[in-house]
Amino acid sequence: MSATGPADGTMAREHVIPHARRTRRAARPEGPRMLPLPTRATEVGRAVPRRRRRAAVPALAAAGLVLLGGCSTVQKMNAVAVVDGQAVTADELTTATDQYNAFARAAGGTEATQTQILPYLVQSRIVVPWARSTGAWKPDASYAQVLSRVPSPAPETKDLFEAIVVSGQAAQGGLSESAAQSLQKAVQDADVTVNPRYGTFVRGLAPTVTPLSPNWITPGSTPTAQATAPAGQ
């Protein structure tokens, strides 16, 4: 990753989440959709033997308990994600997405959705403490160049760009082998829970959030596109 940007002021490509569709700002997630009540035309259980239907009820209930158990922490904390006991709030996600997109527009880049920003915001809760505790990475010219193009960046936006820069450097060999391995371990060991309205967190130097199935768990306004790694990974 180059330490200085292009002379013409265009955005350094390695700091961009590529392939994000140009979209208007993603709306905040709504609540889970209600399943439609069965009608005579849609009632699929009529032809199922009574014994099998009775057996299906506990199975569906158990599946629901698994989903509720997995998201109880994030729901209690009113968070979009919880990383090692620390909440990532909807306001933080909105601010980070808005400021990233302002940066992208100003540099002629492509905007990202909240679904694409969320995995890197989650990753930032791992990367920033790791960098501070190990001293393996410190804010450099590349990071400073990016932040200089974001007017009054919020703390979560600074952390977001740090996660993008550090993850990119680790993937491209910009960190020592031992530092890269240490970061990988920190990512794998972190306790991460993402609100199922958004999906599930897929760990790695190029993290993603993938929608859950069945699709009624996710709100209709949440894009299904996955975040890809910063350019060059």
* 177-231 residue pLDDT tens: 999 999 999 999 999 999 988 988 999 988 998 887 654 344 433 332 333 333 4
Asked if the model's pLDDT at residue 12 lies above 70, the reply is: no
* 26-76 residue pLDDT tens: 444 443 333 333 333 333 333 334 444 444 334 333 333 333 344 456 665
How far is 107 from 9, CA to CA, in rounded Å?
Answer: 8
How far is 152 from 154, CA to CA, in rounded Å?
Answer: 6
**Nearest-5° angle of CA 202, CA 13, CA 140?**
85
Structure tokens given for 124: 């930032």
Kindly list the distances between the CA atom of residue 208 and the CA atoms of 40, 47, 65, 199, 211, in Å, as whole numbers in the listed order: 41, 41, 25, 9, 10
How far is 116 from 227, CA to CA, in rounded Å?
Answer: 4
* 188-200 residue pLDDT tens: 999 999 998 898 8
**Confidence class for position 175, pLDDT limits 50, 70, 90:** very high
H helices of 15-89, where?
50-76
Helix axes 155-171, 177-189, angle to 10 degrees: 130
Q: Answer whether 20's CB lies under 8 Å from 111's CB.
A: yes
How far is 197 from 97, CA to CA, in rounded Å?
Answer: 17
**In whole angstroms, how large is the CA radius of gyration of the chain?**
21
Average pLDDT rounded to a whole number, residues 80-100 = 95
Asked if the model's pLDDT at residue 13 lies above 70, the reply is: no
